[in-house]
Chains A and B, each alone.
Chain A
Amino acid sequence: MDGNEHTKNLFAATDLIHKKLRAQRTVKWIFGSMSVVILIPLVALTSYLIIRAWPSLTWDFITDVPKQGMRSGGIWPALIGTLYTVTFSLLVAVPVGVMAGIYLNEYARESWFTRIVNLAVVNLAGVPSIVHALFGLGAFVVFAGLGKSILSASLTLAIMTLPVIIVSTKEALFAVPVTFRMACWNLGASRWQTIRTIVLPNSIGGILTGIILQVCRAAGETAPIMFTGAVFFKFVKRGDLFPYKPTEQCMALSYHLHTISTQVPGVPESMLYATAVVLLGFVLAFNAIAIVLRTRIRNRKKW
């Protein structure tokens, strides 16, 4: 290309522009492949786990109890134990977390105290799970005298999931326009009436999404329940839905996976994989529910 052509065609691409665009394409390609590299493990590993687990993945595996020192049989007691701890922890974490979220978004005013509360939430979210475990051990097992039990484990999990529930509630409430609140206040509604009639109904989807995500987290965590309530093995009848009392220790899926893969020699590999797949499936399924829920809410906005 020479100068003559430039004057003829003012908007033709120059070498410089070609170079720029080439750089742009290269960079886009690099970043794109980086993303793919990061996300490959998700797909590849999940498929790999499922393939390896396939021989053991039967209905029997889920409903049967471990046999021969966990070397055969199923995972029923662990599955039920996980359900127990997760349910109990939600019973505590949801009301407290949602109300704390309401406090922070609706009642708290800009002040040093509110800043401290917010800082505490951020910190609580960042505390390592093993420190939560130590706290659970020190506070619930020892100090409160609950011993190693489902209660202690659930309370520990509850405190661990609390900050995320608080933050997601806060964000869901924040998404409701202030003008609605103003309108209600002007109609003579108190803060709580406004929250109950307008704010909560319009943010419940977001709050639920946050809660469901915490179900996954609570189900997958191992460290916090290790010394607060999870037990290596507990005899349970096959298919029994209520095998544990809240004051007893229980088995848990995540802890079970840890023990059979590191401490029990001679467990068939496919059983290990199957346990991992059940846990992963449980968690990913709940996540998928949360994602679907969120997408539907976003599409069905009322304003």
Chain B
Amino acid sequence: MKPKAGNIEIKNLTIRYGNKIALDDISISIPSTGIFAIIGPANSGKTTLLKSINRTIELEPGVSVKGQIFIDGQNTKRIRDVYGLRRKIGMVFPLPVGLPLSIYDNVAYAPRIAGKHSKRDLDEIVERSLRQAALWDEVKDRLKSLGTMLSGGQQQRLTIARALSHEPEILCLDEFSIAVDPVTTMRIEDVLIELKKKMTIILVTNLVQQARRLGDLTCFLNIGKLVQVDETEKIFSDDPGNQLTYDYVHGVFG
């Protein structure tokens, strides 16, 4: 397969909140193809890992970051336009956040911030993003109503549409199904399978079965340490090659 933009190379990443180590010397290479699933019990540093990729980790108080992250060979620490970097990476967090704007403005937010103001372009972006997030049919008649008034599942898809609005090369989803009903979860999963042709998808999930359904590669984090990265089938097979992984995916702990 021809190399697509959006491969990530994490080298010796160590992140501390004060004295607490959140990530301990992690090195992962995330290829630009397919869905990269990250599993692990609570407090294993999954969310921290995502935040460090788009450098929003720097906004938290008392954080120290060591190590490098390369995106398409570029060291993210050296990128001075951190806002441009963040636009390149779509982020979806566990709890849906509809901004207190209309649905249209929610999706058009990022392009406008980036300086796009032409009505035609924005219309196009809004429709495309909402379609990609499988929300267009439900909201196309009320684009002017408040995004915060949508249901939880719809808001989560709105969040995804917003993340897609700036055509990211990488889409990170952090336990997106926590606040979403199972039907919507399935629809979003379908969306992801469609999207993985276009972009790198990093899926942090607490549902191991979701990782199994979607992931091409799966990575297992435990208490800030990288335990294993491998083909999803290998991880979920009867012999993943690591006792801890086996125990976790088979529900012995976590």
Q: Point out residues on A near B: beta carbons under 8 Å.
A: 109-110, 179-180, 182-190, 193, 197-198, 201-202, 302-303
Contacts and interface: CB of A to CB of B under 8 A. Distances in A.
A186 B114 contact: no
A202 B98 CA distance: 13
Interface of B: 54, 56, 59, 61, 83-87, 91, 93, 95, 97-101, 109-110, 112-114, 146, 148, 159, 162-163, 165-166
Given A188-B113, A302-B146, A302-B148, A183 B99 contact: yes
Given A180-B100, A202-B100, A303-B100, A187 B95 contact: no
A188 B56 contact: no
Contacts of B148: 302-303
A75 to B, nearest CB: 45
Contacts of B95: 179
Given A110-B61, A183-B159, A303-B148, A188 B99 contact: no
Contacts of B97: 179-180, 182-183
Pick the most buried of B56, B86, B146: most chain A CB atoms within 10 A of its CB.
Answer: B86
A182 B56 contact: yes
A188 B61 contact: no
A37 B99 CA distance: 46
A189 B165 CA distance: 13
Nearest to A111: B61
B86 A186 contact: yes
A109 B91 contact: no
Nearest to B159: A183
27 contacts: A109-B61, A179-B93, A179-B97, A180-B97, A180-B99, A180-B100, A182-B93, A182-B97, A183-B159, A183-B162, A184-B99, A184-B109, A184-B113, A185-B59, A186-B54, A186-B56, A186-B93, A187-B162, A187-B163, A187-B166, A188-B86, A189-B83, A189-B113, A190-B83, A302-B146, A303-B98, A303-B148
Nearest to A190: B83
Contacts of B100: 180, 198, 201-202, 302-303
A187 B97 CA distance: 12
A109 B87 CA distance: 25
Pick the most buried of A185, A186, A201, A302: most chain B CB atoms within 10 A of its CB.
Answer: A186
Contact of A188 (B59, B93, B166): B166
Nearest to A302: B100
B56 A187 contact: no
B95 to A, nearest CB: 7
A198 B146 CA distance: 13
A185 B86 contact: yes
A275 B209 CA distance: 77
B91 A186 contact: yes
